[in-house]
Structure 1
Amino acid sequence: MLAVCLALAVCLALAVAALGWWYNTITVSSVVVEEGECFVKLPYETIVPLPEDVTVEWSRCAPEPMRVHEYCNGNNDLVGQDEFYCDRTEMEEEPLKTRDLSLTLRDPCYRDSGTYICTVHKDREVWTQKVVRLRVNVPQEVVEVGDRAKCVTLPFKTRARLPADATVEWKCFELSNSSTVHVYQNGQDTSEGQHSSYRGRTKMRENPLQAGDLSLTLINPSHEDIGAYTCTVERDGDVIWKRSVRLKLKGF
């Protein structure tokens, strides 16, 4: 009888310890996706029993803090969501019942790379947490141009929503040198800082941020234009999007 009681006591102690482990252990996952994919899933399936009145909150802590998605009282609450994630996040149906708290992020782009935390809490008490490190790879496109081409287009199209007050800058990198090729700022093209060799030879489409088409057309390309080009979209000093294109001579 004493042995049975001891066995039950040990089982109870292990159960309590396991419950405490569920509540206090933070698991970490890493996800890698290519920019241009339709969506990416930040996974989180928990074994912790979840009551219906807890809040599930997805946030990003690095490189800059943002509120990504919140689920509470049986509904998605996106009032405090950062505008960068507007219309791009979704959770599974009835996540508290299925214990699948995964978050789907549509149209992943360069700026989405970072560290995300899913926190389940109630009355300021944290029930469980999960950390997901997301890396969005930006592929380098290769564009070939012929000797007698009158123009060539360096492509950059995105389905993501771009802020109207962002600055678009195309640069050419060759060895340790970089040259400003084209700048779009305050709703218009500007020649400020543009390298003299590109003046009068570059153009972008009208309203590129609204159209999501930041492609650059280079007029009368020559051998001197061959190299690696990078387009960055910045807002308030933060790089939001980035794309790299290598221009090479056809046949080489």
Structure 2
Amino acid sequence: LSSCPTHFVLCCLSVHQVEVESGTESVLLPLKVPRFPWFCIFRLLQVDKVEWMDGGNRTVHVNQNGHNQPEEQNWLYRTRTRMDENLLKTGDLSLTLSWPTDEDEKTYICSVYSRKGDVLMEKQVWLKVKVQQVEVESGTASVLLPLKVPRFPWFCIFRLQVDKVEWRDRDNRKVHVNQNGHNQPEEQNHLYRTRTRVDENLLKTGDLSLTLRRPTGGDKNLYTCRVYSRKGDVLMMKQVQLKVKGQ
């Protein structure tokens, strides 16, 4: 190994762009290292750690010695990321991020470290998240923020685990809560009380759409629906941007 470099950095200058719609189950931030540098250079230099960070210097995912380290993640990403645990053999350093929202729209940096702490490689990926837009005239009787879960994931995956469906606005105010198939008006913010409706039969239908009555300019907002399991895990998430015209 004396002829091998002791410090080698492969820096990918171009920023790869990935686009996804909010409400998609997951998005892949791709990083597959070509066979030559991975097997002939990096593995000989004894890769110790692969780390994904976001543009705000928050830890997104860490894999050390082939093992994921969830305790090192920022809370924003906990339970939402996945990497190939066999990456030391495959060279596939791609990151899977579950249920992307507009808050995930940013740059992500993957760094590969040697056991000496040297950076062997770096690459950046820009994630763009598209949010569904709904437009309505002020004074309209009601507006629908649509969210109909496809039959397969709802009936085969979510239905048996769902505990709560919750809509919130960008300011984290509770717009509507349905728990165990029953609406919970006492949990709503006063701005939305008596003005919202969801299908009380949603556990059977998978229709999580929110109806908002008498929309005004003050309702122009970003609305996020989260579906929680009985353990409190987020099973799915989607955002809808409401624009109210005439104000």
What's the TM-score bracket when you normalise by the shorter of the two chains? 0.5 to 0.7
**Deviation of the 1:107 alpha carbon:** 1.4
Pair 1:126-2:116 in alignment: no
Pair 1:137-2:113 in alignment: no
**Deviation of the 1:152 alpha carbon:** 4.8
State the alpha-carbon separation in 2 of the partners of residues 134 and 230 from structure 1: 22
**Deviation of the 1:124 alpha carbon:** 1.9
State the alpha-carbon separation in 2 of the partners of residues 218 and 24 from structure 1: 52
What is the identity, as a one-letter code, of the residue corresponding to 2:129?
Answer: V
The correspondence of residues 169-188 of structure 1 with structure 2, limited to 5 A, is: 169=169, 183-184=173-174, 188=187
State the alpha-carbon separation in 2 of the partners of residues 98 and 218 from structure 1: 49
Q: Which of 32, 54, 74 is residue 45 of structure 1 equivalent to?
A: 32
Distance 1:42 1:183, change over 3 A: closer
**Deviation of the 1:170 alpha carbon:** 7.1
User: Which structure 1 residue ranges, 5 or more long, are not aligned?
Assistant: 1-14, 160-166, 172-181, 206-212, 234-240
**Deviation of the 1:142 alpha carbon:** 5.3
Distance 1:154 1:25, change over 3 A: closer
Runs of 4+, deviation exceeding 3 Å: 19-22, 141-144, 151-159, 167-171, 182-185, 187-191, 213-219, 224-229
Distance 1:134 1:215, change over 3 A: same
State the partner residue of 2:220: 229
Partner of 1:69, secondary structure, is strand
**Deviation of the 1:141 alpha carbon:** 3.3
Paired residues, what number?
190
State the partner residue of 2:228: none
What is the identity, as a one-letter code, of the residue corresponding to 1:97?
Answer: K
State the partner residue of 2:195: 202
State the partner residue of 2:23: 36
State the partner residue of 2:50: 56
Cα offsets for 1:124-169 (capped at 9, x unmatched): 210001111111111213579xx8x6x554346999xxxxxxx944
Greater RCO between the two (CA within 8 Å, min separation 6)?
2
Q: What TM-score comes out, normalization by structure 2 length? A: 0.59
Q: CA RMSD in A?
A: 4.4
Contact 2:83 2:96 in 1 (8 A): yes
State the alpha-carbon separation in 1 of the partners of residues 148 and 170 from structure 2: 14
State the partner residue of 2:78: 86
Contact 1:230 1:242 in 2 (8 A): no
Contact 2:28 2:97 in 1 (8 A): yes
Pair 1:97-2:106 in alignment: no
State the partner residue of 2:105: 113
Partner of 2:72, secondary structure, is coil
Q: Which of 53, 60, 64 is residue 72 of structure 1 equivalent to?
A: 64
Partner of 1:87, secondary structure, is coil
Structure exhibiting the larger radius of gyration computed from Cα positions:
1
Partner of 2:71, secondary structure, is coil
State the alpha-carbon separation in 1 of the partners of residues 188 and 105 from structure 2: 29
What is the identity, as a one-letter code, of the residue corresponding to 1:55?
Answer: K
Partner of 1:140, secondary structure, is strand
Cα offsets for 1:30-89 (capped at 9, x unmatched): 1111111121111112232322542100111x2x33111111112111111112212221
